[in-house]
Amino acid sequence: MRVYVKVKPAAREEKVETRDDGSLSVAVTEPPVQGRANAAVCRALARHFGVSLASVRILSGHTSRSKLVEVDGV
C-alpha cells in the first residue's frame, strides 16, 4: 500500500492521524537532522499498521515534509 504522509518533526508527542483527503499526518518528536525524523516516521507507521519496520520505506520526499511511503503487508 502506498500512502501520502505529511510529517510534523520535533512535535511534542508522536501520533498518526488520517487527514480529510485520505493521506496521513505523522507527528514525531525527532528533529529533521541526519534522517532521524525519517526513521521516526517509519517506526510510527510500522506501529500504526502493525507491521515490521522493514515493511515501511519512504519512496519519495526524503528531505521534504510531504512524503510518499510504501507499507508492505497491509
pLDDT tens digit at each of 74 positions of the chain: 999 999 999 999 999 999 999 999 999 999 999 999 999 999 999 999 999 999 999 999 999 999 999 999 87
How far is residue 58 from each of residues 12, 24, 38, 51, measured CA to CA in Å? 23, 14, 8, 15
User: Domains in the chain, ordered, with CATH?
Assistant: 2-71 (3.30.1200.10)
Q: What is the DSSP string of 27-73?
A: E-SS-SSTTHHHHHHHHHHHHHHT--GGGEEEEE-TTSSEEEEEETT
Q: What Rg value do the Cα atoms of the chain yield, rounded?
A: 11
Cell of 47: 506501529
- 0.85 exceeded by pTM: yes
